């Protein structure tokens, strides 16, 4: 394997290491003493996401892994009656008008951030985009006045102050790392027990985040007791008024933390990779900028006027920007493989009998690179999402399978934040590019960008320079 591949800590590329660029439809691994079936092709997804979707569900392994970190949120929960009710309420909280209000806050934070980046001149775009999106998501979850709170964080026996967003990100990373502790590999039954020194520190750090959330809920309830109303359009305030959530503080906290962890990092990865591919492909960047200039009368002008112009209906007209967004998620999916899934009955999926409750992982990265579906799959070509382009088709000239692009999974378990992610990306990116061009500092990165996804243990450092236009 190349060095850049070794730096990526996911099993997806290990499949390529073992089986080459065209692995079998299914590959089995023994994972913590349990058989795990990797799905590497689009064909089984037609059954899992469409024809037999009612049997498709989440396997409990990932839920157990993040039980302490994220609680019992809907993201990893099984599809029971309570899950359906909670998902319906959460969908309503991200409905169009509420989503618009959230993105308005995010645009203001983006304007503040680009000023800070301009003063720095040179930034680590991986770290800075992560900080930007965590501030954005914190403001959407807890309110604008709480977009950068401080909590206690314990590491190597020492306690220090840390931004809550950074703590959440580190807690998620360390939560993933737990499954590779020797005693948990041998005895996965011990996963719920936090017994090592690292586990104890992780437990302390998780409790700090939960305590902050509890205190915020208590303060909002006290305000309600005095005034008879809740103020704010943040997710926390919305859920406090929802009949499914308002009687259970921990249920609210679980969903807020899940939204923080999942929403911030995945969108940050998409923005980072997009900016890098724009820097590598000057022709694509120019085409994208031409569209922004043509569709947005304030692009290149006053940032505040541009921000007002970037309404939901308007950004829908930014077709090529959407193609660039999709291509960034195709070539380097923010989440390279799904959480643990299963089917709830024994069934035949594309000639293979899959047993009830057997663990399944969707190998998103491989599905986005299968050579019989994608022309020149290793190249960044946004036109492959343009129906008028030859790249819209397979190498043989036929239509691509609809399940060959699944960054948000599909069926009843499709990502709840899909619309949020798309709208926030299309509203923030024009603000970042309005007066600036992002260039890669390390010239080696022009041809060999470090791989970057949301579940890597060790994040790469990618320096970018802001050039005023």
Summarize pLDDT for 423-465 with one digit per residue, the tens.
999 999 999 999 999 999 999 999 999 999 998 878 899 999 9
Res. 11: pLDDT tops 80: no
| pLDDT tens digits along 410-425 | 999 999 999 999 999 9
Task: Give 333-359 pLDDT, tens digit per residue.
Answer: 999 999 999 999 999 999 999 999 999
Q: What percent of the chain has pLDDT over 90?
A: 80
pLDDT computed for residue 251 by the predictor? 97
Tell whether the model's pLDDT for residue 10 goes beyond 70.
Answer: no
Give the total residue count for the chain.
469
Domain boundaries, given as residue ranges, for the chain: 3-468
What sign results for the dihedral spanned by CA atoms 395, 400, 403, 406? positive
Separation CA 137–CA 153 (nearest Å): 20
CA distance 374 to 226: 60
Q: What is the pTM of this model?
A: 0.93
Residue 48 to residue 338: CA distance in whole angstroms? 13
- Beta-carbon contacts of 404 under 8 Å, excluding residues fewer than 6 positions away, are 42, 367, 368, 370, 373, 374
Lowest mean pLDDT among 22-36, 155-169, 228-242: 22-36
In three state form, how does the secondary structure of 328-392 look? Answer: HHHHCCCCCCCCCEEECCCEEECCEEECCCCEEEECHHHHCCCCCCCCCCCCCCHHHHCCCCHHH
Residue 136: predicted pLDDT: 94
pLDDT of residue 148: 78
Question: Does residue 2 surpass a pLDDT of 50?
Answer: no
- What average pLDDT is seen over the chain? 92
Residues 6+ positions from 302 with CB-CB distance below 8 Å: none
How does DSSP classify residue 103?
H
Please give, one letter per residue, the 3-state secondary structure of 31-64: ECCEEEEEECCCHHHHHHHHHCHHHEEECHHHHH
Looking at residue 206, what is its pLDDT?
96
Statement: residue 165 has pLDDT above 50 = yes
Q: Where are the alpha helices (DSSP H) in 121-151?
A: 125-142
164: DSSP letter: H
The annotated binding site for heme is made up of 415
Which of these, 357, 330, 334, lies nearest to 37 by C-alpha position?
A: 357
Both structure tokens of 289:
């900028």
Q: Tell me: the pLDDT tens digits for 91-130?
A: 998 888 888 889 999 999 999 999 999 999 899 999 999 9
From the annotation, which residues make up the binding site?
Answer: 415
Structure tokens at 376: 């020149």
Ranges of H-type helices in 55-95: 60-65, 67-70, 81-93
Confidence of residue 49 (pLDDT cuts 50, 70, 90): very high
Tokens at 465, concatenated? 């320079």
Predicted local distance difference test score (pLDDT) of residue 3? 31
Confidence band, pLDDT 50/70/90 cuts, at residue 9 = very low
**Given this structure, which CATH class describes domain 3-468?**
mainly alpha
Count of Cβ atoms closer than 10 Å to residue 390 Cβ: 11
pLDDT at 8: 37
Which pLDDT belongs to residue 189? 86
46 burial level (CB within 10 Å; 0-12, 13-18, 19+): middle
């Amino acid at each position: 394997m190349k060095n850049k591949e070794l730096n990526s800590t996911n099993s997806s590329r290990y499949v390529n290491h073992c089986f080459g660029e065209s692995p079998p439809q299914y590959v089995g691994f023994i994972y913590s003493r349990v058989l795990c079936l990797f799905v590497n092709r689009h064909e089984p997804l037609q059954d899992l996401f469409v024809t037999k979707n009612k049997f498709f569900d989440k396997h409990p392994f990932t839920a157990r892994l993040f039980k302490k970190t994220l609680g019992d949120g809907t993201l990893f929960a099984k599809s029971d009656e309570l899950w359906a009710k909670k998902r319906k309420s959460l969908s309503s909280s991200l409905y169009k008008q509420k989503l618009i209000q959230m993105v308005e806050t995010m645009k203001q934070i983006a304007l503040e951030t680009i000023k800070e980046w301009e003063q720095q001149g040179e930034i680590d775009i991986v770290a800075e985009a992560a900080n930007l999106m965590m501030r954005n998501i914190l403001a959407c979850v807890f309110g604008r006045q709480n977009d950068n709170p401080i909590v206690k964080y314990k590491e190597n026996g020492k306690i220090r102050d840390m931004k809550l967003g950074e703590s959440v990100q580190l807690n998620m990373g360390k939560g993933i790392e737990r499954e590779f502790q020797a005693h948990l590999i041998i005895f996965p039954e011990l996963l719920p027990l936090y017994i090592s020194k690292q586990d104890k520190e992780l437990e302390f750090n998780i409790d700090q985040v939960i305590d902050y959330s509890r205190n915020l809920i208590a303060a909002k309830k006290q305000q309600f007791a005095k005034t008879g109303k809740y103020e704010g359009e943040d997710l926390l305030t919305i859920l406090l008024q929802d009949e499914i959530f308002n009687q259970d503080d921990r249920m609210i906290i679980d969903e807020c933390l899940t939204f923080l962890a999942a929403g911030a990092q995945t969108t940050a990865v998409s923005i980072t990779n997009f900016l890098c591919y724009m820097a590598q492909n000057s022709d694509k960047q120019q085409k994208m900028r031409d569209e922004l200039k043509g569709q947005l009368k304030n692009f290149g002008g006053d940032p505040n006027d541009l921000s007002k112009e970037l309404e939901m209906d308007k950004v829908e007209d930014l077709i090529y920007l959407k193609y660039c967004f999709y291509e960034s998620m195709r070539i380097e999916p923010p989440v390279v493989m799904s959480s643990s899934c299963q089917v709830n009955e024994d069934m035949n999926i594309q000639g293979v009998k899959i047993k009830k409750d057997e663990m399944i992982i969707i190998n998103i990265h491989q599905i986005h690179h299968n050579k019989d579906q994608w022309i020149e799959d290793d190249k960044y070509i946004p036109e492959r999402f343009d129906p008028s382009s030859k790249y819209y088709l397979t190498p043989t000239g036929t239509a691509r399978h609809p399940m060959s692009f699944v960054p948000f999974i599909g069926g009843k378990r499709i990502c709840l934040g899909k619309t949020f992610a798309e709208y926030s990306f299309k509203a923030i990116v024009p603000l970042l590019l309005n007066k600036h061009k992002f260039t890669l500092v390390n010239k080696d990165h022009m041809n060999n960008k470090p791989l970057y996804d949301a579940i890597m243990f060790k994040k790469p450092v990618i320096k970018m320079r802001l050039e005023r236009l």
